[in-house]
Amino acid sequence: MFDTPLTELIGTEYPILGGTMMDLSTPPFVAATSEAGALGIIASAMYPDSYKDYRDAIHQVRNATDKPFAVNINLFPMMRKLDNVKYVDIAAEEDVRIIETSGFAPPEDVVSAIKGHGMIWLHKCVGVRYACKAESMGADGVTIVGYENGGATGNLNVATLILVPSTIDAVKVPVIGGGGVVDGRTMLAVLSLGAAGVIVGTRLMLSEECPLHRNVKEALLSATELDTDVIMRSVGFAHRIWMNTPARKIAEIEESKGNLEDLLPLASGWAAKKMYEMGDTEAGTVSCSQGVGLIHDIKPVRKIIADMVSEAGRIHEALAL
Ligand SMILES: Cc1cc2nc3c(=O)[nH]c(=O)nc-3n(C[C@H](O)[C@H](O)[C@H](O)COP(=O)(O)O)c2cc1C
């Protein structure tokens, strides 16, 4: 029922991408996403210190699944400059067929590396004009995420319901839509807008396999659609996150025109580690969609995807009556 130009392009069972989630996108989690019939995506930026670790991550995913998976190339500003062409080259050497870029405009050298290796290129962005630019540079598909989404929002503030069809009207390549896709209802809604697929981040964060500490997952289960907000806009890095104490502190610093140095301790790697690995829900911040308010359980990735697809199928049939 859900064979689309996206499943044709990337070879997955379902038209679903598992959103890259930086430190959380460990090989077992990525492999579980692919095994469930969606596209698992390795975050190359998780391996800034060692190409060997990056290569090992690709091997681990390949050993755990024979289904398609991709590598994400991070185009957001980073504290450390990454050699993204090298990440693409290694992915090609390891026979990864699909590259997702996300963040700012794709640089020419990265695009020519992807194209030169004959890989499939998906670019994720938050605005119609960015999608058009990626298509003009040769992207095979564009992922567009609305303002509801967990993670980077950009500054255009357009919601999924409007952004997805606007993008479909503007480009010819398959469009993957997201921002708030957490169940069969929201999946079908985005497909009904004409998208060839959906991207799912926050719902998969609240899976058994996602390596986020149980305390944080449980705290997020109690969150409603009102408990996220966009912060870091003042430093050009607007992100939708769950509003805990550090997030509110960041918002206050921004309000009082504080600078990046004041914000860094709250968004540091150590704060994230204390939160993600040690379960201190008030240590740092975590990206999170408004869709969190619709999530009421933690279950295996396979079940999340299967439930999403079967619920979308049921609604689709009911609508056709
Ligand atoms: C915890 C978390 C971390 C994320 N990290 C990244 C990232 O490193 N790179 C990226 O392109 N997108 C990142 N995202 C965005 C997701 O890949 C995806 O686009 C988004 O979650 C989709 O919206 P949704 O959360 O409403 O499903 C992250 C999202 C979450 C929830």
CA distance 292 to 288: 7
Which pLDDT tens digit goes with each residue over 38-58?
999 999 999 998 999 999 999
Give me the pLDDT at residue 321, please.
63
Nearest ligand 1 atom to alpha carbon 150: 25
| Cβ atoms of residues 148 and 159 within 8 Å | yes
CA distance 266 to 278: 16
Residues of the chain with pLDDT under 50: none
User: Could you tell me the distance, in angstroms and rounded to a whole number, from the CA of residue 57 to the centre of ligand 1?
Assistant: 19
Burial of 293 (0-12, 13-18, 19+ CB in 10 A): middle
Give me the pLDDT at residue 264, please.
80
Which residues face 176 on adjacent strands?
143, 197
For ligand 1, atom 8, which residue shows the shortest CA distance? 22
Which pLDDT tens digit goes with each residue over 263-306?
888 877 788 889 999 999 999 999 999 999 999 999 999 999 99
Q: Which among 16, 20, 175, 209 is the best mutation to test ligand 1's pocket, defined by most ligand atoms within 8 Å of the CB? A: 20
Q: Which among 22, 23, 101, 228 is the best mutation to test ligand 1's pocket, defined by most ligand atoms within 8 Å of the CB? A: 22
Q: Locate tokens 């699944």: which residue?
A: 65
Give me the pLDDT at residue 260, please.
72
Give me the pLDDT at residue 272, please.
86
Give me the pLDDT at residue 265, please.
82
CA distance 232 to 55: 32
The CATH code that applies to domain 10-149+156-211 is: 3.20.20.70
Give me the pLDDT at residue 80, please.
78
Count the Cβ atoms, other than its own, within 10 Å of residue 274: 17
User: Could you tell me the distance, in angstroms and rounded to a whole number, from the CA of residue 21 to the centre of ligand 1?
Assistant: 5
Domain spans of the chain, in order of start: 10-149+156-211
Long-range contacts of 59-63 (CB under 8 A, 24+ apart): 59/94, 60/27, 60/28, 60/31, 61/27, 61/30, 61/31, 61/34, 62/94
Buried b (16+ CB within 10 A) or exposed e, 55-83: eebbebbbebbebbbbbbbbbeeeeeebe
Angle made by CA atoms 92, 49, 215, in degrees to the nearest 5? 100
